[in-house]
Amino acid sequence: MLTQIHIKNFAIIDNLDLDFSTAFTVLTGETGAGKSIIVDALGLALGDRADSHVVRKGASRAEITITFDISGLGAAQRWLKERDMDTDNECMMRRVVTAEGRSRGYINGSSVPMQMLRGLGELLVDIHGQHEHQSLQKREVQRQLLDDFAGLTETTDRVNKIYDQWRALQTDLDGLKQTSTDRQERIELLQFQIGELEALGLEKKEARQLEEEHQRLVHAEKLLTAAMETISLLHENDNSAIVNALGRQLNQLVKLRDIDPAITPSCEILENALIQLDEATSELRQYTNQLEVDPQRIDWVEQRLSAIHTLSRKHRVDPGKLHALRSDLEAELITLSSTDKQLADIRDTLQRLKTTFFHAAEDLSIKRKEAASRLTKKIQRIIHQLGMPGGRFEIAFIPVEAGKLAPHGLEHIEFLVSANPGHPPAPLNKVASGGELSRISLAIQVVAANRGQIPTFVFDEIDSGVGGRTAETIGRQLRALGQTHQVLCVTHLAQVAALGHHHFTVTKQSRRNTTTIGIATLDGSARSDEIARMLGGVEITKQTRAHAKEMLARGQSLATQTAGQL
C-alpha cells in the first residue's frame, strides 16, 4: 500500500510530507484549496506526462517521492526482482521535473524511463478521475478482473500454457520452413565442404603436430650441432670431458669422508649429478640418431600445412578446429536431410495442441460467460445505487479471428456501460463524464474487491454532481472497498467524508505574496467542524455542528454494513 508521499515545489505546494494509513481515507477542503493537486502529484510520480508548468514559480525543479509497503504484493515484488531493483518489502518511486521541462524518474534509487514508472505504478495504484492510471479501461485488465471474479486462475493458466507450447512449436516450424526454402543449395554446399575435409583427412591434433615437426626439420642442422657439441663436452673428450673430470674429483672427496663425515651430503649430490649427466648424454645420443636433415620430408610437411591453412582460411577457423568443423557440418547435413520428417512431426504435434487448446478454451469461455452474467447483475445494481438509475453495464465477448489461437482464449473481454437511458452501452473509455466513469469504476472494484490485485485506489471527485442518498451510498461503497484495499478519495460531500476511516483537510495558505497548501489530520471535534463546514458553508450554526456529529455517528453505524447488503 501507499505509505508516504513527499512533494516539493510542485504547483503551489512548496514542501509537503504526508503519511497514509490502510482502509478508507478522505481528503476534503474548500473549493480551489488544492485537494486534487495531491492526486496530480501522485499521478506524476506514477509516470503521468509533465511539463515545466508543474514546477512552483521561482523553483528550479519539482520533486515527488512516493513510498509503498509491498509485503504480500507478489506481482510488484516479481517485477522489481526481474529488474534487479528489489529492496525487501519497501518500494520508492521518485519523479523530478525541471523548470526547463526535463523529466527524470527513479525506482529504488535507479534511474528509469517513464514507461517503467507507469508499468510498476499500474501494479500498485489505480487512479480514477481525469488521469491516466485508470487501468480498468484496458481490455486485458477487464479480462483479468472477470477471470479473478470467476476463480478461473487454473483454467486460464492451462489455456495459456497450451498456447505457449503451440507458439514455440510454430516458431520452430517457421524456422524449418525458411530453412527448407534454401535447403537444397545448403545441402549441396555442405556435401562439397565435407568432401574437401574428407579428402584432406585431417586427424585430431595433426595440425599442431605438423607445426612442431616443421620447426624441427627446418632447424635440424642447428639442433644436431648443438646436441653433438654437448655430448662431446660431457663425455667424449677424455682429458677435458665434464663427466670424467667430475668423476675424478668425486673419487677424491669420497676418500676423505672417513676424515670428516660432514662431506657426505655433498658427495651424494655429486653422485646424483653424475648419474643425471650420464642420462642426459644417453638421451642426446638417442635424439641425434633420430634427427636427420630430410629436404623431401620438409617439402611434404610444408605442402600438408599449406593445404590445412588454405581450408582454415576458407572456413575462417583456426587450423586446430578443422577436425571439429567437419563434425559440425556433418551434423547440420543430417539435420537438413531429415527436415521433411521433422516438419511432418511438428505439424502433427501442432494439430494435437491446437485441438487441446480449443477444448480448454471453449471450457474457459463457458465459465466466463456464466460468471459474466453474475458479475453484470451485481455491478449494474450498484451503478443504479450510485446516482445512475438508468445506467447499464454489459460484458462483451469479442471473438478472436476464427481458427486463430490467442494466449487468453477464444475472445477478448470488454466492459460496456451506459450512464444515461437511451444511450447504447459503449466501452469504458468512451464514457464522457469523469465523475460517471469514477462511479462505474467504483462499482466494478467493489464487486471484485475480494479478488482484486491492485492494493491502492484513488478516487478524485467521484461524487461530482450527486448528493443526498446517492452521496451516502458512494461513501458506504468506498468504505466497503476500504475493508480489503487502501482507498483515497478527494470529496466535497459531507456524506462521503463522514464515512472515512481517516480524514485529511487541505487548506490554501497565503504569506509574503506567495500561496501554498497546508494539510492536517482531523479527528474528534476538528473532524466534526470540517463536516459542519461542508454542510453549512460560510456560516456554521449549532444545528449544523449537531448535524455533523450525528452524521459521523451514523456513518460509523452504517459502515458496519457490507456492500453486498446495500
pLDDT of residue 513: 74
pLDDT of residue 35: 85
Residue 44 to residues 6, 106, 124, 454, 519, Cα–Cα distance (Å) = 12, 12, 14, 18, 19
> Rounded to a whole number, what is the distance in angstroms from the first to the last CA of the chain?
27
Q: What is the residue type of 409?
A: G
Burial of 405 (0-12, 13-18, 19+ CB in 10 A): buried
Residue 551 to residues 468, 503, 531, Cα–Cα distance (Å) = 12, 14, 8
Please give the full DSSP string across 431-482, using - where no structure is assigned.
Answer: -S-HHHHHHHHHHHHHHTGGG----EEEEESTTTT--HHHHHHHHHHHHHHH
Which residue matches cell numbers 524449418?
A: 176
Length of the chain: 566
Cα(396)–Cα(430) distance, rounded to whole angstroms? 15
How would you write the pLDDT of the chain (566 residues) with one tens digit per residue?
A: 999 999 999 998 989 999 999 999 999 988 777 888 899 999 999 998 888 889 998 899 999 999 999 998 888 999 999 999 988 889 999 999 999 989 999 999 999 999 999 999 989 998 876 544 567 788 888 998 899 889 898 999 999 999 999 999 999 888 777 666 677 778 888 889 888 888 888 878 888 888 777 777 777 778 777 877 787 788 776 666 888 888 888 888 888 888 888 888 988 898 898 889 888 888 888 887 777 767 777 788 788 888 888 888 888 888 888 888 888 888 888 877 777 777 888 999 999 999 999 999 999 999 999 999 999 999 998 888 887 888 889 999 999 998 899 999 999 999 999 877 878 888 887 775 666 777 787 788 778 765 667 899 898 877 766 777 888 888 888 888 888 899 999 998 898 999 999 999 998 887 777 778 889 999 888 999 999 988 876 677 888 889 988 888 887 776 555 444 44
With a CB cutoff of 8 Å and minimum separation 6, the contacts of 256 are 263
Cα(328)–Cα(334) distance, rounded to whole angstroms? 10
Residue 429 to residues 39, 416, 432, Cα–Cα distance (Å) = 20, 9, 8
pLDDT of residue 566: 41
DSSP alpha helices (H): ranges in 206-338? 206-218, 220-231, 242-255, 264-290, 295-315, 322-337
For the segment 438-474, what is each residue's pLDDT rounded down to a tens digit?
A: 778 778 877 876 566 789 989 887 776 677 788 888 8
Which residue matches cell numbers 673430470?
A: 245
Which residue matches cell numbers 514507461?
A: 115
Closest CA to 36 of 502, 387, 435: 435
Residue 196 to residues 81, 224, 300, 325, 333, Cα–Cα distance (Å) = 52, 38, 19, 12, 15
pLDDT of residue 565: 46
Could you tell me the maximum CA-CA distance found in the chain, to the nearest angstrom? Answer: 137
- What is the sign of the dihedral through the CA atoms of 544, 546, 552 and 558? negative
Cα(354)–Cα(352) distance, rounded to whole angstroms? 5
| Orientation angle between helical segments 339-385 and 434-447, nearest 10 degrees | 110
- What is the sign of the dihedral through the CA atoms of 114, 117, 120 and 121? negative
Closest CA to 523 of 505, 508, 540: 505
pLDDT of residue 158: 95
pTM for the structure as a whole: 0.61
| In contact, 251 and 176? CB cutoff 8 Å | no
Residue 57 backbone class (left: φ over 0; alpha: ψ -120 to 50; beta: rest): beta
